[in-house]
Amino acid sequence: MRYEIRRLDPWRCLVPRQGAMRVDGLIYADETLLAGILEDKAVEQVANVATLPGIVGRSIAMPDIHWGYGFPIGGVAAFDVGEGVVSPGGVGYDINCGVRLLATDIEREAVTGTLPELADALYRNLPSGVGSARTDLRLGARDLDRVLVDGAAWAVERGHGTPADLARLEAGGALDGADPDAVSERARQRGARQLGTLGSGNHFAEVQVVAEVYDEQAAARLGLTPGCLAVSIHSGSRGLGYQVCDDFLKRMLQAARRYGIELPDRQLCCAPVSSPEGRAYLGAMAAAANFAFANRQVMASWVRRTFEEFGFGPAERRITTVYDVCHNIAKFEHHEVDGRTRELLVHRKGATRAFGPGHPELPAEYRDLGQPVLIPGDMGRYSYVLIGSQGSSEAFGSACHGAGRRLSRAAAKKAARGRAVVRELEDRGILVRAAGMRTVLEEISEAYKDVAEVVRAVEGAGLARPVARLAPLIVVKG
């Protein structure tokens, strides 16, 4: 079905309610970005999400939207907690895939002579690749239960970071309501040796330089100094989260039939929020999200230890946490809809929170500033740090999570055939360390939209405002 699209302004397009849609769709994109979005089935997925029971407001798509499983990647949808549903496809397989940003006072010139050695050390200390595991951190059943409940705090209690880190993590690094008993034995087995690992696909750890600052005051508050290093860590809940999603997709498909929910796409399988199936999924999802928080906390600790090996200590004073955001999550939040505040279950899949100044869920030190919004680009160009704006309330306090793919992985590998991609990047001053060439080829810059264009749309729509641009120096890939 071809859906009608109306342009509201230079940055927003409306997909009017049509067919079985219960609400309108809203796409944040200028004309250039929209042309790319229309090349796949992402708009159809926006419309499909709008048919789900209890959806509130609009079915929303961010500028980095592209086709995904059930929900589009870059999709946001909020559901009434009494009449609405929860859908694993609205969270995704990599539960709480997210980004941790670390700021440093280390000037780029201080590592110029040792970049290859630093790249090797980071690759050694951050296990990457499919099925990667840590030999120094295998979790027993009791410890795994604590990770699933306590999240990043578990890691801090065991010497991986400090309590100051926790104050700068979304939700303090742990979601309430986690239920380890809802996590299958297979999921637990897959996660037991993967805490503190990057994984594969588009996951990475990057040493970056603060290349440009757009808001000096905000950048200083975040600890981002022009010419100094920063480190971004992009990873999630690894095999544990993947298995949780896989387990519940089967259960939710049966539940949707049992509750009489008509699905335009079986990948949107769901259950009422308050149903036994819905509560079980939310408990398992929160547990997987907490695993992801702990995972990034352990890796951040190893980044600090690696820099200490090169004489940049004491690392916990020189390398501070800026923020840590979730990309794939469903969270209970309060938002104003039609003039009144309501409790909603907000699904963000390939999207991040972008709360504006004054929001009570922000860390006290950032509350007057707004939430840091971390938008990675690709390994050959740049990433951005923004601050959430009040305008994000239209999108339930959300913004995009990255550049968004424009080529499938297969198409990217075809485009990179015959090229020495690692050498190309090295010639531009970017060192790559990876477990294999497959993911490097899949992640070439041409596979992604230009994140600068995506950020312009985010700013133009009033979702968030730019603070700094980060350029890659070292990229550790899965």
* Active-site residue set: 401
| CA separation for the pair 248, 69 (Å, rounded) | 14
**Residue 96 CB partners (closer than 8 Å, separation 6+):** 236, 237, 241, 288, 289, 290, 291, 292, 293, 326, 327, 328, 329
Amino acid at 118: L
CB-side neighbour CA atoms (13 Å) of 297: 31
Q: Would you tell me how many other CB atoms lie within 10 Å of the CB of residue 438? A: 16
**Residue 133 CB partners (closer than 8 Å, separation 6+):** 127, 193, 194, 197
Pair type for strands 464-477 and 431-434: parallel
- Residue 128 corresponds to which tokens in the numbers above? 């990457």
- Residue 63 corresponds to which tokens in the numbers above? 């500028």
**Residue 235 CB partners (closer than 8 Å, separation 6+):** 97, 98, 197, 198, 199, 203, 292, 295, 296, 299
Nearest to 330 by CA among 90, 85, 21: 90
Strand-pairing partners, residue 324, are 100, 169
| CA separation for the pair 476, 478 (Å, rounded) | 7
Query: Which of left, alpha, beta for 362 (phi over 0: left; psi -120 to 50: alpha)?
Result: beta
